[in-house]
Amino acid sequence: MSAGEGKKAVVAALLANLGIAVMKFIAFALTFSSAMLAEAIHSVADSGNQGLLLLGAQRAKRQATPQHPFGYGRERYIYAFIVAVVLFFVGGIFALYEAYHKLSHPTPIESWHWVPIVVLVGAIVLETFSFRTAIQETNKIRGDASWSQFVRHARVPELPVILLEDLAALVGLVFALIGVGLTLITDNGIWDGIGTVAIGVLLITVAAILAIEIKSLLIGEAATDEQCRAIEAAIRGGDEVDDIIHMKTIHLGPDELLVACKFAVKHDDTAADVARGIDAVEARIRAAVPIARVIYLEPAIKRAAAKVE
């Protein structure tokens, strides 16, 4: 996925969360509901998430330099990791902090009873539109993978983050709606605190999942199995290569792949033959997997296996 393919989902989520955050803060100011405050901070954190994702995508476009010869593609992973570790955990821990105070001193919602219900229902509607956009954008590149497989194995950070973020936002809104609703029905503020606890646990759980998945991308993941098969087929697609001795791949960014391959050539090939063969193999790899932008090919003479006496 290029930087632009997930931008629509990120921008849709950003606009939705900014509007939702304003609505929630107004509701909190009128009702002093801890669940509403936790949800308002959650929406602010989500807005920050989208801002960081957009910033990371922009900075990743910078040209390679002598100090960073492979470019800045992995900055998208770094900003996504910050989203997971900092903003999600901040939102989750803040929610648990508010829940502790609410559970220690539960107070009912004494005025503007209808406001939090209206705000939460409106927020669910807006968040559903954002989630729908994320699903539509993901379906363009998901292929036959299940949703869990896509989140676990996607080499792009933006869409998995937005998908889990929007899902967490929808579930959190339901928790808040249940907590506030039960508080209004029973006139007991403890339900508000319990709803806030559920929101905090939800955010921390999602943060942990994202942190684990994005950490793997930061360390460096290989091309997908499908891409590796396509690259191997491209290498073997001509008579220049006698055999593949070994091949390694690694993502320099979501849409940039490094390929390194040592392959055997015929023992009677001249240097000119080998040079032409390398050019032909490289061209086939780029045609088969366009994101294979950095390619290192090493020719070698295949040694026969030692005979066992």
Residues 46, 309: Cα–Cα separation, whole Å: 68
State which amino acid sits at residue 251.
Answer: H
Query: Using H for helix, E for strand and C for coil, what is the string for the chain?
Result: CCCCCCHHHHHHHHHHHHHHHHHHHHHHHHHCCHHHHHHHHHHHHHHHHHHHHHHHHHHCCCCCCCCCCCCCCCHHHHHHHHHHHHHHHHHHHHHHHHHHHHHHCCCCCCCCCHHHHHHHHHHHHHHHHHHHHHHHHHHHHHCCCCHHHHHHHCCCCHHHHHHHHHHHHHHHHHHHHHHHHHHHHHCCCHHHHHHHHHHHHHHHHHHHHHHHHHHHHHHCCCCCHHHHHHHHHHHCCCCCCCEEEEEEEEEEECCEEEEEEEEEECCCCCHHHHHHHHHHHHHHHHHHCCCEEEEEEEEEECCCCCCCC
Confidence tier at 126 by pLDDT (50, 70, 90): confident
Confidence tier at 112 by pLDDT (50, 70, 90): low
Residues 97, 90: Cα–Cα separation, whole Å: 10
pLDDT reading at 307 higher than 50: no
Confidence tier at 308 by pLDDT (50, 70, 90): very low
User: pLDDT tens digits for 8-48?
Assistant: 788 888 888 888 888 888 888 887 877 778 778 878 888 88
Q: Order of strands, edge to edge, in the sheet holding 243-253?
A: 243-253, 256-265, 292-301
CB 183 within 8 A of CB 243: no
Residues 180, 164: Cα–Cα separation, whole Å: 24
Residues 49, 91: Cα–Cα separation, whole Å: 11
What mean pLDDT comes out for the span 262-287? 90
Residues 111, 121: Cα–Cα separation, whole Å: 18
Q: What is the mean pLDDT of the chain?
A: 85
The whole model's pTM is what? 0.77
- For the chain, give the percent of residues with pLDDT over 90: 22
User: pLDDT tens digits for 153-164?
Assistant: 888 888 888 888
* Six-digit token string for 173: 């809104």
CB 245 within 8 A of CB 264: yes
* Six-digit token string for 21: 């955050």
User: pLDDT tens digits for 182-228?
Assistant: 988 888 889 988 988 998 899 899 888 888 888 888 888 999 889 99
User: pLDDT tens digits for 60-101?
Assistant: 888 889 999 988 888 989 988 888 877 677 778 888 888 888
What mean pLDDT comes out for the span 106-133? 82
Residues 126, 23: Cα–Cα separation, whole Å: 11
